[in-house]
Amino acid sequence: MPELRSGVRRGRAAVGQKDSEPPAPARRNVKTRAAAAAAAGAKGRPRTKAAAAAAKKKPVIATSEAKAKEVKEKVLRVMGDDSGGLSANKGAAPEDNTPPFPERVQVGGSPMYKVDRKLGKGGFGQVFVGRRERATGPGAQEVALKFEHRNSKGCNYGPPYEWQVYNILGGSHGIPRVHYKGRQGEYYIMVMDMLGPSLWDVWNSSSQAMSAEMVSCIAVESLSILEKMHSKGYVHGDVKPENFLLGQPATAQEKKLFLVDLGLATKWRDTSSGLHVDYDQRPDMFRGTVRYASVHAHLGRTASRRDDLESLAYTLIFLHKGRLPWQGYQGDTKSFLVCKKKMGTSPEMLCCFCPAPFRQFLEVVVNMKFDEEPNYSKLISLFNGILDPNPALRPINTDGAQKVGQKRGRLNMEEEDDSQPKKKVRLGVPATQWISVYNARLPMKQRYHYNVADARLAQHVERGIADGLLISCVSSCSNLWALIMDAGTGFTNQVYKLSPFFLHKEWIMEQWDKNYYITSIAGGNNGTSLVVMSKGTQYTQQSYKVSDSFPFKWINKKWKEGFHVTSMATAGSRWGVVMSRNAGFSDQVVELDFLYPSEGIHRRWDGGYRITATAATLDQSALILSIPRRKPGDETQETLRTSQFPSTHVKEKWSKNLYLACLCYGRTVC
């Protein structure tokens, strides 16, 4: 018989992103049906090392923090930048033991360049001044030389990915030209246009605050650059002050704006079909710089045009005000805390003391849908009232914006063409609600109880069992229980446990030995839990984890092992997730947000997914959506969000043969 494993196994960390799960005490336990049968046929015989240890009166305990720290994980360090922000998913700079940079460079048929002073260090390499040999005169034939070591993360499969992007975008409006590229020794090298200071440098030299006119010029020209990039099917993915550079001083381009560092650029449009890429969410994947990244980037959603515009909004506000309210967070939970702060800060609050166009711009971009096409002309027109009417007197060249403006109808933001007003997010007024999910079923008997105290739970359960009902779902609000019982569970027997622990490991393992499997869990804010275990399920193996943060890495790892999420709950800020083998699903995804993820749910529904588990804390909501192996006759599913338990709504749904499938209480509005 194979030995059962105990303890915590963590998923591999995403490239460039620190493990989002702090090394807090975590529990993971596995039990198989085969092992249970063997144990039933050989009483008194230890079936695992854990059982043998228990026979020697050594207590079974949950994995400790020290034990969890012993688990080996491969985590790449997050790159820091001059602004104090963090850039993730970027290749590391060459280590000290890598070969030195060459003194002279000649690649791809280029002239010979002498490597001069260092200009800067980015997430994908280092940049030096290159001076063409035998050239005369001050600044003659100066270029920028970008070095990336062949062993850096960006060069896993040969030349840097950034080269591909520059092949398509290089030389277009606001993108510097790449003159030559190639490999010399241990380094991949690009020979590029020599540019001037970054907006970060200009901001630093301007008492760390820029005038409204200067920032408005940056806004309109940045929008024209992004519009051109987006028209070619790419999003930048790391819009921030450090990646906007002016032309060389004392040249005709000194007032021209450029966007650099295309290492995180991705396609928003499929090259072959011309259609928008599909929506997805991977909460363990973060790309960008924490300070300026969009909320959707923090949450691991597929990048689209809206993300560049949200990052641009934060960039503009930072340049004008000199600070963003989420600066200063440190530690492993920095990205989580920054994202939470962004979601909880309304545009009115963030843009206080800024001219009105800043708030209007932010309101538009944070309310954009995943595949929505930005109205660049309309966004540019917002800032017209701040700009000098004579383009020649503006501090930044806005030629690109003027070209975009030739095709725009100068509309006020209050004027919507034919569309209905959008429902705004990020109101700055958080709210918690019940989230209830209803599935179409053949007519059956269902009963609900809510605001149930511990002492009254047993009588409700016993009365339901007497009427032929079993528990299908449990939840909690304000340390009181909600209980759903119906006649359609398919279970043959059931037990439950109220415990001061979240979750009670010893009791769960005892029930596993009796061939019961977890079918529903709930947790109270005070750390208590209610666990329901049933016989007659289709599960063949089960595992659960308790974590201080949503354990997506573990979930993703278990997916690869053939498990699917079958129950979820929270206790305070802690998450409990149960995963089972033979759960009846062919695929499964997660929607995680700091509010009810309405857009993501509707997109998943369109893809054939249905909600099969929910849980929420006072900060976040998580929904598991699955594709069943056996397609139901009626796939109708509806959700409701209500401040009170939806007793009235449940009865209305019953009249339509829609029955409560799962529910939770937690954050739905920011």
Asked if 430 contacts 669 with a C-beta cutoff of 8 angstroms, the reply is yes
Among residues 13, 31, 23, which one has the least CA distance to residue 76?
Answer: 13
The C-alpha atoms of residue 665 and residue 475 are separated, in whole angstroms, by 8
- Helix (H) or strand (E) run with residue 481 in it: strand 480-486
Could you give the 3-state DSSP secondary structure of residue 446? strand
**For the chain, percent helix, then strand, then coil, each to nearest 5?**
25, 30, 45
Residue owning tokens 């944070």: 366
Distances (CA, A) of 66 to 63, 333, 546: 8, 19, 16
Q: How far apart are alpha carbons 340 and 325 in whole angstroms?
A: 11
Q: Say if residue 146 carries a ligand binding annotation.
A: yes
Q: How far apart are CA 361 and CA 216, in angstroms?
A: 11
DSSP 230: H
Q: Is 96 a catalytic residue?
A: no
Measuring CA to CA, how many Å separate 543 from each of 37, 567, 575?
Answer: 18, 11, 14
Instruction: Respond yes or no on whether the N-terminal peptide bond of residue 503 is cis (omega within 30° of 0).
Output: yes
> Residues 124, 162: contact at Cβ < 8 Å?
yes
Sign of CA dihedral 214, 218, 221, 227: negative
Question: Token pair of 552, please?
Answer: 């997506």
Query: CA torsion, points 472, 478, 479, 484, in degrees to nearest 10?
Result: -10
Could you tell me the CA-to-CA distances from 334 to 286, 290, 294, 366, 621 in Å, in that order? 12, 8, 15, 21, 19
Query: Taken in order 285, 187, 232, 419, is the CA torsion positive or negative?
Result: positive
CA distance 278 to 4: 39
Q: Report the 3 state secondary structure along 355-409.
A: CHHHHHHHHHHHCCCCCCCCCHHHHHHCCCCCCCCCHHHCCCCCHHHHHHHCCCC
Exposed (0-12), middle (13-18) or buried (19+): which is 175, by Cβ within 10 Å?
buried
The DSSP call for residue 243 is G
Helix spans in 561-613 (H): 598-606
Question: Among 238, 284, 371, 619, which one carries the catalytic annotation?
Answer: 238
Per the DSSP assignment, residues forming a β-bridge with 178 are 192
Q: Which residues pair with 664 in a beta bridge?
A: 435
174 neighbors 257 (Cβ within 8 angstroms): yes
In terms of Cα–Cα distance, which of 473, 445, 433, 422 is closest to 611? Answer: 473
Q: Estimate to the nearest angstrom the gap between the alpha carbon of 321 and the chain centroid.
A: 27
What are the C-alpha distances in Å from 288 to residues 14, 151, 229, 261, 309?
13, 21, 17, 11, 13
Residue ranges at the known binding site for ATP: 146
Annotated catalytic residues are 238
